[in-house]
């Protein structure tokens, strides 16, 4: 089975810095890491390859430093890694991102399955998977837990609102993978091997024969108009007195705040 896993480099939650003019994220190697949801997709790909053979290509669109997440994917078992990188892709929204990823996948050519994470920890729209399926005109199933079968039809299991849903889908298809599984770390030997065995291919818009007007800001249907940081005010109130009095005044405070009636 030929599998493509889409991987995004995200900015660590506590290190988010926003460019005050463009409202886009400021990235650095130190403050970025692989989108944790994409690790579940990669793990599913590795399990499928174990069972049905084939190969795994990790694909990301991003600036040069996104190479780091591709190295991580290679350490965790990807066979090939491709970086779609072009200054004209900067500030892409999900539509433009899906277009560029789609063009990358067209250039890769042969594939059976595309796996995406459910969402990301920074942009967090959850749109890229489904939009990419539309871009490539592929069937799409979200929140997938389990996959079986190889040729023709795949049997898919997913959990939705208390139901276990069993679906069948024809290949090629795109799945977004449920985060309900544990991810492992690459061992030192796996990391060392990735660096001796592999390299990263980098493609720009010309390589993709992509239309620059459909990428980056010009290809985006949405843009960020304004951004205001929210601060959460927390305060600590100490309740005095013996336990009985404390319980009484706690009850009173909870009722005052409409938390109990």
Partner 1 sequence: MDLTLSIQQRQIRRMARQFAKTELAPIAKEIDEEGRFPWEAVEKMGALNFFGMQAPRRYGGAELDSISYCLVIEEISRLCASMGLMLAVHNSVVVFPLNQFGSDEQKAKFLPPLASGEKIGAFCLTEPNAGSDAMAIESTAIRDGDSYIVNANKIFVTNGGVADTLIVFVSVNPEDVKKGFSAILVERGTPGFEVGLLENNCGMRANPVTSIVLTDCRVPRTNLLGREGDGFKVAMAALDTGRIGIAAQAVGIAQGALDVSLKYAKERIQFRVPLARHQAIQMMLADMGTMVEAARLLTLKAAHVRDQGGDLSGPSAMAKLFAGRTASKVASMGVQIHGGYGYSKDYPIERYFRDARVTEIYEGTNEIQQIVIARELLKGGED
Ligand X SMILES: Cc1cc2nc3c(=O)[nH]c(=O)nc-3n(C[C@H](O)[C@H](O)[C@@H](O)COP(=O)(O)OP(=O)(O)OC[C@H]3O[C@@H](n4cnc5c(N)ncnc54)[C@H](O)[C@@H]3O)c2cc1C
Complex with ligand X: residue 152 or 221, whichever CB lies closer: 221
Total of residues contacting ligand X (CB under 6 A): 32
CB count in 10 Å sphere of residue 165 = 14
Task: Say how far apart CA 110 and CA 208 lie, in whole Å.
Answer: 15
Contacts with ligand X in 122-151 (CB under 6 A)? 122-129
- Phi first, then psi: give them for residue 34, nearest 5 degrees: -70, 140
Complex with partner 1: residue 71 or 111, whichever CB lies closer: 71
Q: Of partner 1, ligand X, none, which one does residue 174 interact with (CB within 5 to 8 Å by kind)?
A: none
Which residues lie near partner 1 (CB under 8 A)? 29, 33, 67-68, 71-72, 75, 185-189, 191-192, 195
The residues that bridge with 28 in the sheet, in sequence order, are: none
Complex with partner 1: residue 188 or 237, whichever CB lies closer: 188
- Cα of 16 vs its chain's centroid, Å: 17
Q: How far is the CB of 95 from ligand X (least distance, A)?
A: 6
Q: Of partner 1, ligand X, none, which one does residue 204 interact with (CB within 5 to 8 Å by kind)?
A: none
Q: How far is the CB of 93 from ligand X (least distance, A)?
A: 3
Q: Does residue 11 contact residue 120 with C-beta atoms inside 8 Å? A: no
Q: Of partner 1, ligand X, none, which one does residue 68 interact with (CB within 5 to 8 Å by kind)?
A: partner 1
Residues 57-96: x where in contact with ligand X by CB under 6 A, - otherwise, as a string? --xxxx-----------------------------xxx--
Q: How far is the CB of 15 from partner 1 (least distance, A)?
A: 14
Complex with partner 1: residue 95 or 191, whichever CB lies closer: 191
Secondary structure of residue 250 in the 3-state scheme: helix
CB-based contacts of 15, cutoff 8 Å, min separation 6: 30, 31
The DSSP secondary structure of 46-102, one letter per residue, reads HHHHHHH--EEEEEEES-GGGHHHHHHHHHTT-SEEEEE--GGGTT--HHHHHHHHH
Burial pattern 38-53, b for ≥16 Cβ within 10 A else e, equals bbbbbbbbbebbeebe
Nearest to 114 by CA among 186, 62, 73, 57: 57
Q: Of ligand X, partner 1, none, which one does residue 33 interact with (CB within 5 to 8 Å by kind)?
A: partner 1
Residues within the interface to ligand X (CB under 6 A): 6-8, 23-25, 35, 37-38, 59-62, 92-94, 97, 101, 116-117, 119-120, 122-129, 222, 224
């Amino acid at each position: 089975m030929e599998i493509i896993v889409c991987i995004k480099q995200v900015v660590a939650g506590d290190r988010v810095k926003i460019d005050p003019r463009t409202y886009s994220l400021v990235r650095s190697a130190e403050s970025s890491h692989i989108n944790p949801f994409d690790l579940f997709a990669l793990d599913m790909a590795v399990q499928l390859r174990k069972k049905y053979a084939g190969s795994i290509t990790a694909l990301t669109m991003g600036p040069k430093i996104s190479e780091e997440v591709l190295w991580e994917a290679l350490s965790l078992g990807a066979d090939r890694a491709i970086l779609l990188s072009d200054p004209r892709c900067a500030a892409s929204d999900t539509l433009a991102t899906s277009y560029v990823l789609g063009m990358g996948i067209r250039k890769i050519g042969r594939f059976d399955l595309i796996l995406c994470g459910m969402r990301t920890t920074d942009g967090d729209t959850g749109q890229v998977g489904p939009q990419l399926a539309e871009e490539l005109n592929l069937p799409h199933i979200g929140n997938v837990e389990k996959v079986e079968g190889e040729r023709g039809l795949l049997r898919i299991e997913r959990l939705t609102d208390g139901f276990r849903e069993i679906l069948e889908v024809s290949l090629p298809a795109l799945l977004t993978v449920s985060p309900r599984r544990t991810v492992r770390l690459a061992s030192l030997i796996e990391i060392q091997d990735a660096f001796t065995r592999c390299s990263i291919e980098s493609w720009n818009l010309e390589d993709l024969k992509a239309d620059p007007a459909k990428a980056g800001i010009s290809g985006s249907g949405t843009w960020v108009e304004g951004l205001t940081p929210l601060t959460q005010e927390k305060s600590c109130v100490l309740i005095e007195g013996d336990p009985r009095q404390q319980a009484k005044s706690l009850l009173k405070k909870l009722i005052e705040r409409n938390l109990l009636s």
